[in-house]
Amino acid sequence: MAMAVPWIGSILFAISALCFEAVSSAAVNQVTDGREVTFGSVIKLQHDRSKFRLHSHEVPYGSGSGQQSVTGFSGVEDSNSYWIVRPPQGASVGQGDEIRSGTILRLQHMKTRRWLHSHLHLSPISGNYEVSAYGNDDQSDTGDNWRLEMEEKGNVWLRDQKVRLQHIDTSGYLHSHDKKYTRIVAGQQEVCGVLKKTSDNLWLAAEGVYFPVTPSSNSS
């Protein structure tokens, strides 16, 4: 019996580290072996060309909506770049369910609990659609909904696979580029929404905690 205690302890630690509602910054430093990006996973989105991570923080925009700003950040270790992959409101989707091409999803900023959001306000540098972080656990609207679009072959979202996220309300693609802020968040890249498909709206799932696929979501 004594030999089983360390084994049981390891399992309990893994389960607690992958808890859907209470993932800690320490836990997300470890990437699980699963290749699939599933609902409930906590991930960093890496901009394919620049390698900056999608990032947010409690710094509001000084123009436009005045909502919490979203940027591209060059650092890999910063915990403000973690996002929880959530279904849209009212969807009957469970933790560990696969995410297929065409799926509508939301991304919730792990630290501030706000949702990746877009609307018709102008972005501060380029004048495209502003991308912000909005709401909280109990406040979300259709401006938080994004459709996953695969760039490469395949139907299921996998880590390190190039994808686009198209905003449902505006049709703008999540986008970043070499335009950088010079004050407050100096050196961070602008993130915005643009209507045209380009190489600058390709992203891939990088570091994070990836829930294994639930058998029911992979049975069809």
Asked if pLDDT for residue 186 goes beyond 80, the answer is yes
Asked if pLDDT for residue 99 goes beyond 80, the answer is yes
Q: What percent of the chain has pLDDT over 90?
A: 78
Higher pLDDT residue, 154 or 183?
A: 183
56-78 residues labelled b (16+ CB within 10 A) or e (exposed):
bbebebeebbebbbbbbbeeeee
pLDDT digits over 18-30, tens only?
444 444 444 444 4
DSSP state of 91: -
pLDDT at position 86 is 98
Six token digits for residue 130? 């502003």
pLDDT at position 139 is 97
Decide: helix, strand or coil at residue 125: coil
pLDDT at position 34 is 66
Residue among 181, 87, 47 at smallest CA distance from 125: 181
Average pLDDT along the chain: 87
pTM of structure: 0.85
- Could you tell me the residue ranges of all domains in the chain? 38-211
For 185-203, what is the mean pLDDT? 97
Q: What percent of the chain has pLDDT over 70?
A: 82
| Cα–chain center distance at 73 | 14
pLDDT band at 154 (very low <50, low <70, confident <90, very high): confident
Six token digits for residue 149? 């679009």
CATH fold of 38-211: Trefoil (Acidic Fibroblast Growth Factor, subunit A) (2.80.10)
pLDDT band at 214 (very low <50, low <70, confident <90, very high): confident
